[in-house]
Copies of this chain bind each other. A is one copy, B any other.
């Protein structure tokens, strides 16, 4: 069976208010800071510095990010791989991700 992708909004359907709402949460902003560091990441509900949270809670936050159009998820076997929708977000909101990356680095949270 070939890989599949979880449902996500089309590029033109990504709403700024939804993106900001999704990122206006400490856990999800920390997830973003991880995803900004590289290309693709294993879902890893137990790691990523979120070991204090239940795995279903982390799963919920990842779903929020995906449904807001921030991330996309590829399903391969029993593993999922998450990546930022960098090209889509840069096209829709130019400069936003770059500013967030610099802001996160500056805070060193």
Residues of A within 8 A of B (CB): 15-18, 20-26, 29, 92-96, 98-100, 102-104, 106-107, 109
In the assembled complex, the Cα of A71 lies from the Cα of B51 at a distance in Å of 36
This chain's copy number in the assembly: 2
Main secondary structure of the interface of A (DSSP, over half): helix
In the assembled complex, the Cα of A41 lies from the Cα of B95 at a distance in Å of 27
A59 vs chain B, min Cβ distance (A): 21
In the assembled complex, the Cα of A20 lies from the Cα of B25 at a distance in Å of 8
Chain B residues lying within 8 Å of A23, measured Cβ to Cβ, are 17, 20, 24
Partner of A16, one of B16, B22, B29, B96: B29
Take A22-B24, A24-B23 as given contacts and tell me if A16 and B100 are in contact as well, using a CB distance cutoff of 8 Å.
yes
